[in-house]
């Protein structure tokens, strides 16, 4: 009887470990999809900037998509998910305030871009967003 209880406990532990591993694997896919979505919107806005074709509605749409992705990003790195993928640096968990500060800076820049009334304001917000993104990726991503 005692052996059956131990076997049942081990089986439960194994199932729990597989479930957590599966959840973390899904996080990796969610992280990648979220970053792809942000990158796509950023690319569209970059083309508008590069072509000197500022359109407030397009800026608002793209910047709002980026801001939404940045909000979602906050929940994609829960405690314990450090091993979900090899592209996220452990520094995200070791320096969570630093990660959140850069994510917040990028979010604020995206909001500013969404409200940009003119090309100069849009360009300024775009540059701030790009700087925040680069800083975050330099500190918290393993992209090599």
**pLDDT digits (tens), the chain, 144 positions:** 666 666 555 545 444 444 444 566 789 899 999 999 999 999 999 999 999 999 999 999 999 999 999 999 999 999 989 888 888 999 999 999 999 999 999 999 999 999 999 999 999 999 999 999 999 999 999 876
Rounded to whole angstroms, how far apart are CA atoms 144 and 118?
37
Location of structure tokens 């820049």: 109
Q: Tell me which residue range forms the domain holding 27.
A: 2-140
Integer distance in angstroms from the first to the last C-alpha of the chain? 53
Q: What is the CATH number of the domain that holds 67?
A: 1.20.120.10
Question: Domains in the chain: how many in total?
Answer: 1
Q: At a CB cut-off of 8 Å and minimum separation 6, what does 34 contact?
A: 69, 72, 73, 76
| Cβ atoms 83, 134 nearer than 8 A | no
- pLDDT reported for residue 24: 65
Longest dimension (CA), the chain: 76
DSSP state of 86: S
């Amino acid at each position: 009887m005692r052996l059956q209880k131990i076997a049942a406990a081990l089986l439960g532990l194994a199932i729990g470990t597989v479930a957590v591993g599966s959840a973390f694997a899904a996080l990796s896919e969610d992280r990648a999809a979220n970053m792809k979505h942000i990158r796509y919107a950023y690319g569209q806005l970059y083309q508008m900037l590069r072509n000197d074709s500022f359109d407030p509605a397009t800026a608002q749409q793209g910047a709002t998509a980026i801001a939404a992705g940045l909000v979602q990003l906050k929940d994609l790195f829960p405690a314990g998910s450090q091993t979900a993928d090899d592209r996220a640096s452990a520094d995200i968990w070791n320096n969570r305030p630093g990660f959140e500060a850069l994510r917040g800076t990028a979010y604020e820049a995206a909001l500013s871009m969404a409200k940009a009334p003119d090309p100069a304001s849009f360009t300024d917000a775009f540059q701030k967003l790009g700087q925040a993104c680069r800083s975050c990726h330099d500190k918290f991503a393993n992209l090599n």
